[in-house]
Amino acid sequence: MEILDTSAFIHEYHTDDETASVPQVHEELEGEHAFRFDAEEGAGMHIHIPADGTTEKVQRVATETGDADELSETDLLLVSAAFELDGTLVTDDYAMQNVAERLNVSVQVIARDGITEQRDWQFQCAGCGRTFDDDHERCPICGSDLTRKNPA
């Protein structure tokens, strides 16, 4: 089963496999793209609402990888749906791909190249230069802003 992100409808992604999505994707679409969602639903697309526990697990993993601030509620629900349904997540979103890979959820990209490696982001202080594995609002040492960086 393929779990369709907003980008699947925008890029007119076609598949012969069973499909699913979450209601929030429809809310993000407008005009012709919303019509595509409605048509796909009418053709049998499953609308899935993931369990709260699964969404919490995905949120924890996103925090571990450093992608939590990059993911919307819709993104979290889509990754959760793909995890629960043991499906393939169809998306171009790199943060979603990174979290999905950590959860062993397969990903199908649409219009872009997919990720080439999984990343666990670090956060570096703009003031003192220290790095942290976890994101904080401000540096716990000097109070400056943190920026996300690739530790490699």
pLDDT per residue as tens digits for the range 22-76:
999 999 999 999 999 999 999 999 999 999 999 999 999 999 888 998 999 999 9
Angle at 66 between CA 65 and CA 67, to 5 degrees: 95
More confident residue, 145 or 24: 24
**Residue-level pLDDT at 112:** 60
As annotated, the residues of the chain forming the CATH 2.20.28 domain(s) are: 121-152
The rounded percent of the chain whose pLDDT value lies above 90 is 61
CATH of domain 2-108: 3.40.50.1010
The sheet carrying 146-149 orders its strands as: 131-132, 122-125, 146-149
More confident call, 123 vs 117 = 123
Query: Cα(106)–Cα(86) distance, rounded to whole angstroms?
Result: 9
CATH no., domain 121-152: 2.20.28
Start-end of CATH 3.40.50.1010 domains in the chain = 2-108
Q: pTM for the complete prediction?
A: 0.74
